[in-house]
Amino acid sequence: MLTTLLALLMAAGPTVPGTQPQLTHDGDRTFLVVARDHQVAVLRSTDAGRTFRDAAPIQIAGTMAAGMHRGPRIAVTSAVVLVAVVAGAQGGGKDGDVVLYRSTDEGASWSAPVVVNDVPAAAREGLHGMAATPDGLVVLTWLDLRARGTRLYGAVSRDHGATWSADALLYASPDSTICQCCHPSVAIDGQAGVAVMFRNHIAGARDLYVTRSDDGANFSAAVKQGTGTWKLDACPMDGGGLIVGDDGVTSVWRREGEIFLATPAVPERHIGSGRDPVIAATSSAVDVAWTTPEGIRLLRGTDSLLAGAGKFAALLAFPGHTLLAWEHQGHVVTRVIPR
């Protein structure tokens, strides 16, 4: 009954051309980005995603990595909007840098692009993550190919993305490479610090690990998520999602064809079948969405809702509703789902 009622109450938002949606917000101030060939489309909302209007698009020089979790990432601080892409003159894994764009006027205009990684073409795998706090701490992380094998690198800004630290090695596997095609995820809490999740590669196992930092510069030993393991001689191209709070890290990820949720209290809970999970939370609730053969499924507590046909969900949780976006047939669909 709850699933049927929620389906009837879903409010349709904009459907826009593009792929690989990403969402971010600071209070009701909400942004959506999607990839469109050599352009990032940016949409802005002042009412927590109930309605959107177009901001200025970002024209990308060269070829932007997009598809299978490659695409633009967006974050907001109290002062700026930041969009990061991986782009290169050739693209397609031949070259690629983490390129950052800033807006000080809510997306009405964008700064000239800045390359964040210090070693040219080191980010050519095209997989990266970004998060920010309102007071201006920004963390970018990416799969790095500056040396043989894939490693996890990152860079930090403490002034709303205006300047950046030197590249820092966040993790290198003892087996010479982490998983080569699974995107990293970043979460920041103003009190709890930074957490970065990535899929590792150790002794044939492709499990998710989290490394944490109190200052965005010094990271702890990486901790495996969950109790099971996935032996796989291939890359699943699926990186999961996480949130961080005073009580620890909550993460969601795929193992084989199943989706698992780990909380500080429960190290592993099976929540469904599918792939490409994402997570978002308020102070009182955790939402998870993922792709199934039928479409995008949203989980709240023990109740689930099939939101619509498509894949590659993005998710924001607000006190009174959930904002969900996903990709379907070359367009991005948004829905507001009340609590």
| Whole-number Cα distances in Å, 31 to 42, 48, 89, 303, 316 | 7, 9, 28, 27, 10
Across the chain, which has 339 residues, the per-10-residue mean pLDDT values are 49 90 97 96 97 97 97 98 97 96 98 98 98 97 98 97 97 97 96 95 97 92 98 95 95 98 96 98 93 97 92 97 97 95
Q: Rounded to 5 degrees, what angle do the CA atoms 259, 152, 62 make?
A: 95
Cβ neighbours of residue 302 closer than 8 Å, sequence gap 6 or more: none
Label the pairing between strands 311-317 and 286-292: unpaired
Q: Does residue 77 contact residue 27 with C-beta atoms inside 8 Å?
A: no
Q: What type of residue sits at position 100?
A: L
Q: Rounded to 5 degrees, what angle do the CA atoms 112, 190, 49 make?
A: 65
What is the length of the chain? 339
Could you tell me which of 98, 102, 11, 99 has the C-alpha nearest to residue 55?
102
Taking the C-alpha atoms of residue 87 and residue 93, their distance in angstroms, rounded to an integer, is 10
Give the model's pLDDT for residue 337: 94
What is the side-by-side strand order in the sheet with 138-144?
128-132, 138-144, 151-157, 168-171
Retrieve residue 308's tokens.
């619509």
* CATH, residue 329: 2.120.10.10
Number of domains in the chain: 1
What is this structure's pTM?
A: 0.96
**Sign of the CA dihedral running 110, 113, 116, 121:** positive
3: DSSP letter: H
The continuous run of DSSP H or E covering 305 comes out as strand 303-308
> What is the domain extent for residue 40?
2-338
Give the model's pLDDT for residue 7: 52
Q: Does residue 124 contact residue 93 with C-beta atoms inside 8 Å?
A: yes
Give the model's pLDDT for residue 4: 43
Give the model's pLDDT for residue 215: 84
The continuous run of DSSP H or E covering 4 comes out as helix 2-9
